[in-house]
């Protein structure tokens, strides 16, 4: 069995961008920055995100560009998103505008995607008018610890493979910045894993020692400390950088860390691809319902939240109509999403028994009798024999196509054949 050093060395060789890749990306970034900057007044476009930090992974060709507007001129007036949009329209034919707390833009250049984000140029976090204003300060702090760049790459790849990466509200996982803070705090990826395996709820990580012991739990706003992990942002002490982390992802990381420590393997860094054929195998002798979901257009985070709500709504409808779910989930890698439900293969009877109130609650009993005709008394309660609405799960799904709640969450739903 390989030791951890050999495993990490092997993984780094696979996930670290090659010199050729770095050169291609660097040339394209320089080209885009030059085009943006020649149209700007009182602002400067600079590279940001994991690329400027040197923690990006191979084959990830997305970069953040921050357009830093003069703080004194724009802190109290003007819409810097509108100012940026005017400049971009002069240089790029196709621009996607993404709405958020402050609108930003996306452009595609060859095989590269750039998110162009307007921010105020600030020197300290207290000046920020929007959370994105602080991003360059995050990069500056991470770049003070360049010796951990490859260790951070290991962390990000491990978290991605473990399905705990991403701070989007429909994922509730660990952001890239949180991965960077954790790795730097514990001084290596493996140290981080060994610590994570022992984490408990409300673990506090305060890199810059802004607070004593657990006083952060009493000083920060309660809304900021609902997550199971509290990471005091090293450049913004009133912010919990891990506020987006949900309990499911928190405990999934803990369990995955324990498994790696017990039996280290490079496989822990390989994200399993979703294959429908594997799902069909698992559903053998059961009933598999596959739903192709066309989402509405919009910001990916908002779309993802709506998809999660749609999935849960359909799940509840299955359960309330007596279809027993053995497994369910979703996959969203392409434009459309796929919902899947593995149901117990069984034939539902045409009628079911519906439980009513105790017979001593006369008002409720009378109401129950008006609603249902075929009633009977058993063990001090009233019951009714009622016709099932749906005997086949497909029929239930078809009835949901016109449901107003679902139409708000998704654009189209289509039943796929097993």
Residues 356-402 have pLDDT tens digits of 999 999 999 999 999 998 999 999 999 999 999 999 999 999 999 88
Tokens representing 276? 């429908």
H helix or E strand, kind and range, residue 397: helix 393-400
Per-residue DSSP letter, 266 = G
d(CA 292, CA 332): 10
Q: Would you tell me the crossing angle of helices 4-15 and 149-161 to the nearest 10 degrees?
A: 90
**CB contact at 8 A, 209 and 216:** no
H helix or E strand, kind and range, residue 33: helix 19-37
Q: Which residues of the chain have pLDDT under 50?
A: 418
Tokens representing 249? 């992802």
CA 158, 163, 168: angle at the middle one, nearest 5? Answer: 115
**CB contact at 8 A, 306 and 330:** no
Closest residue by Cα to residue 205 from 160, 245, 262: 245
CATH code that applies to domain 351-387: 3.30.70
Q: 276-347+391-416: what fold?
A: Alpha-Beta Plaits (3.30.70)
* Three-class DSSP category at 122: coil
Tell me, what's the pLDDT at 358? 95
Residue ranges of the chain assigned to CATH 3.30.460.10: 17-127
d(CA 260, CA 4): 10
Cα within 13 Å of Cα(302), Cβ side: 9
Tell me, what's the pLDDT at 201? 95
d(CA 150, CA 172): 25
d(CA 327, CA 415): 17
**CB contact at 8 A, 6 and 187:** no
| CA torsion through residues 409, 410, 415, 418, sign | negative
| CA torsion through residues 179, 181, 182, 187, sign | positive
d(CA 66, CA 137): 12
d(CA 31, CA 37): 10
Q: Which residues of 344-360 are buried (b: 16+ CB within 10 A; e: fewer)?
A: eeeeeeeeeeeebeeee
H helix or E strand, kind and range, residue 107: strand 104-109
H helix or E strand, kind and range, residue 200: none
Count other Cβ atoms within 10 Å, centred on residue 212: 8
CA 16, 21, 23: angle at the middle one, nearest 5? Answer: 120
C-alpha gyration radius of the chain: 26
d(CA 89, CA 275): 41
Architecture of domain 17-127: 2-Layer Sandwich (3.30)
* Three-class DSSP category at 59: coil
Residue ranges of the chain assigned to CATH 3.30.70.590: 276-347+391-416
Tokens representing 87? 């400049």
d(CA 200, CA 292): 38
Does domain 145-269 fall under CATH 1.10.1410.30? My reply is yes
Per-residue DSSP letter, 241 = T
d(CA 250, CA 227): 9
d(CA 41, CA 335): 37
Instruction: Name the percent of the chain in helix, strand, coil, to the closest 5.
Output: 45, 20, 35
**CB contact at 8 A, 232 and 240:** yes
pLDDT digits over 115-158, tens only? 999 999 999 999 999 999 999 999 999 999 999 999 999 999 99
Tell me, what's the pLDDT at 78? 66
Count other Cβ atoms within 10 Å, centred on residue 264: 19
d(CA 183, CA 177): 10
């Amino acid at each position: 069995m390989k030791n951890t050093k050999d495993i990490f060395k092997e993984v780094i060789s696979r996930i670290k961008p090659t010199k050729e890749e770095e050169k291609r990306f660097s040339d394209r970034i320089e080209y885009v920055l030059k085009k943006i900057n020649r149209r700007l007044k009182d602002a400067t476009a600079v590279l940001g995100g994991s690329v400027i930090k040197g923690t990006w992974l191979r084959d990830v060709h997305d970069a953040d560009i921050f357009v830093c507007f003069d703080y004194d001129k724009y802190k109290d007036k003007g819409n810097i998103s509108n100012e940026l949009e005017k400049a971009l329209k002069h240089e790029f034919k196709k621009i996607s505008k993404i709405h958020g707390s402050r609108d930003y833009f996306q452009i595609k250049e060859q095989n590269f995607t750039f998110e162009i984000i307007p921010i105020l140029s600030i020197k300290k976090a207290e000046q920020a008018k929007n959370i994105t204003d602080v991003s360059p300060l995050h990069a500056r702090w991470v770049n003070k610890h360049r010796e951990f760049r490859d260790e951070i790459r290991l962390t990000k790849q491990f978290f991605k493979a473990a399905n705990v990466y991403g701070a989007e509200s429909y994922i509730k996982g660990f952001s890239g910045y949180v991965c960077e803070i954790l790795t730097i705090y514990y001084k290596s990826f493996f140290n981080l894993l060994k610590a994570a395996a022992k984490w408990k709820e409300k673990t506090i990580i305060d890199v810059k020692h802004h607070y004593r012991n657990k006083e952060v739990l009493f000083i920060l706003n309660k809304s900021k400390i609902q997550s199971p992990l509290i990471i005091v942002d090293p450049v913004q002490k009133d912010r919990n950088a891990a506020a987006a982390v949900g309990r499911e992802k928190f405990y999934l990381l803990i369990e995955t860390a324990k498994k790696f420590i017990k039996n280290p393997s490079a496989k822990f860094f390989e994200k399993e691809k979703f294959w429908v054929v594997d799902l069909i195998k698992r559903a053998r002798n059961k009933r598999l319902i596959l739903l192709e979901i066309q989402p509405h257009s919009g910001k990916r985070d908002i779309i993802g939240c709506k998809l999660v709500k749609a999935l849960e709504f359909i799940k509840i409808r299955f359960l309330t109509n007596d279809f027993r779910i053995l497994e369910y989930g979703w996959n969203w890698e392409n434009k459309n999403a796929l919902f899947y439900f593995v149901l117990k293969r069984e034939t539902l009877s045409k009628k079911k028994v519906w439980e009513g109130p105790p017979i001593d609650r006369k008002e409720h009993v009378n109401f129950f009798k008006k609603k249902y005709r075929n009633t009977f008394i058993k063990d001090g309660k009233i019951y009714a024999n009622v016709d099932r609405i749906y005997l086949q799960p497909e029929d239930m799904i078809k009835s949901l196509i016109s449901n107003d709640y679902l139409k708000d969450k998704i654009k189209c739903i289509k039943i796929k054949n097993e």
